[in-house]
């Protein structure tokens, strides 16, 4: 495959990172927004006011907003791409907070406890240096074990790692691999060597949000794959499973993340651990062999500060068919 065939994938044009404004009168200079940014897009200026770094990558996750105790941060424009392979569809979908709940008669209502747990859950990436007890980890695992799966095939296997030496070794291996890919992408000459890597499956390897935003802090070791958590749960999938293991492990993992929150601990998905598939020695020591493949991981810990709360999310209109094929209604 020629470079011209994949140039639009690996060198997209008109990519607009998210924009967020800071109310300097409200800001107290605590720096929690800087700490809570997954891509390290923020830095503190000379007056201890956060500003977006030169060449920043903002994914419009709004985790900086939930961390701010003063409510000083507001979204201005979400991440979007104007055209080409990565064009956001529809262009710049509006971001909205959760719609107000209503009861079965359409009257104002209150969120249920489960709804609130879902809507307020955020990915937590700043943890205390405090071990999570095995008893709580077991409860998180049980929430995953009882997730639904196609044909009840239960295509998951959990590996819990609490040993800091093991976590450090895996962090080093992952950072090295991700760093190599990131450096290849950022160089205008070596990026052409990625043609084969993206020809059949360009995502997520070349999505600008991942390669520019997610890979960079891992490559530079500003952020560790383990995020400093005291427990890592690696989730392996049985590749023979009905309908494949990916969506089922997603359901399983969501159960686990919600259970963790209910127990006073916090969590986040870390997909970078799938990179360890490229390290046969590590995979062997983990006790994994075909048909088991590392799909993803969840890290657990006690949060350093408040990192959860409701944030806006892209709102795409829902198409309704209430009384047949000829009665299409699309929300506006």
**Where do the DSSP E strands lie in the chain?**
15-16, 19-22, 42-44, 50-52, 73-77, 80-81, 95-96, 156-161, 231-238, 266-269, 292-301, 313-314, 319-321, 328-330
Q: Which two tokens stand for residue 86?
A: 């990565």
What's the whole-number average pLDDT of the chain? 94
Closest CA to 174 of 122, 104, 226: 226
Pair type for strands 292-301 and 231-238: antiparallel
Q: Which two tokens stand for residue 15?
A: 């990519």
pLDDT at 3: 86
pLDDT at 251: 97
Segment 131-144 shows an average pLDDT of 98
- pLDDT tens column, 249-269: 999 999 999 999 999 999 999
CB 127 within 8 A of CB 301: yes
Residues 151 and 91: their CA atoms lie apart, in Å, by: 38
Pair type for strands 50-52 and 42-44: antiparallel
pLDDT at 139: 98
- pLDDT tens column, 265-302: 999 999 999 999 999 999 999 999 999 999 999 999 99
pLDDT higher than threshold 70 for residue 179: yes
* Contacts of residue 331, Cβ cutoff 8 Å, sequence gap at least 6: 317, 318, 319, 320
Sequence spans of domains, the chain: 1-97+187-225
State the pLDDT confidence band at 1, using cuts at 50, 70 and 90. low
- pLDDT tens column, 225-246: 999 999 999 999 999 999 999 9
**Domain 1-97+187-225, CATH number (from 3.30.200.20, 3.20.20.60, 3.90.1200.10, 3.30.70.20):** 3.30.70.20
pTM of the full structure? 0.93
């Amino acid at each position: 495959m020629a470079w011209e065939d994949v140039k639009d994938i690996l060198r997209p044009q008109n990519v607009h990172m998210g924009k967020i404004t800071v109310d300097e009168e409200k800001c107290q200079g605590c720096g929690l927004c800087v700490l809570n940014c997954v891509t390290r897009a923020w830095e503190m200026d000379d007056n201890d006011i956060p500003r977006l770094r030169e060449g920043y990558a903002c994914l419009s996750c709004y985790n900086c907003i939930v961390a701010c105790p003063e409510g000083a941060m507001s979204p201005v424009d979400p991440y979007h791409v104007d055209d080409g392979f990565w064009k956001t569809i529809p262009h710049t979908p509006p971001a909205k907070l959760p719609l107000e709940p209503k009861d079965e008669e359409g009257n104002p209502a209150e969120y249920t406890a489960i709804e609130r747990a879902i809507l307020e859950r955020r990915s937590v990436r700043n943890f205390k240096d405090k071990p999570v007890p095995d008893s709580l980890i077991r409860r998180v695992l049980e929430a995953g074990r009882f997730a639904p799966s196609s044909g009840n095939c239960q295509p998951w296997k959990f590996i819990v790692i609490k040993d800091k030496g093991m976590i450090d070794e895996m962090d080093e291996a992952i950072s090295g691999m991700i760093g190599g890919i990131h450096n290849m992408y950022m160089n205008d000459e070596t990026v052409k060597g990625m043609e084969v890597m993206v020809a059949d499956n360009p995502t997520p390897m070349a999505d600008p949000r991942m390669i520019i935003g997610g890979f960079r802090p891992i490559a530079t070791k500003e952020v560790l794959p383990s995020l400093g958590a005291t427990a890592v749960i690696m989730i392996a999938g049985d590749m023979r499973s009905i309908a494949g293991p990916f969506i089922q492990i997603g359901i399983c993992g969501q159960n686990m993340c919600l259970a963790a929150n209910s127990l006073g601990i916090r969590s986040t998905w870390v997909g970078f651990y799938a990179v360890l598939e490229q390290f046969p020695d590590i995979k062997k020591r983990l006790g994994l062999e075909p048909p088991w493949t590392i799909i993803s991981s969840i890290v657990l810990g006690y949060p350093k500060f408040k990192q959860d709360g409701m944030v806006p999310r892209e709102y795409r209109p829902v198409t309704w068919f209430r009384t047949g094929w000829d009665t299409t209604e699309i929300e506006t």
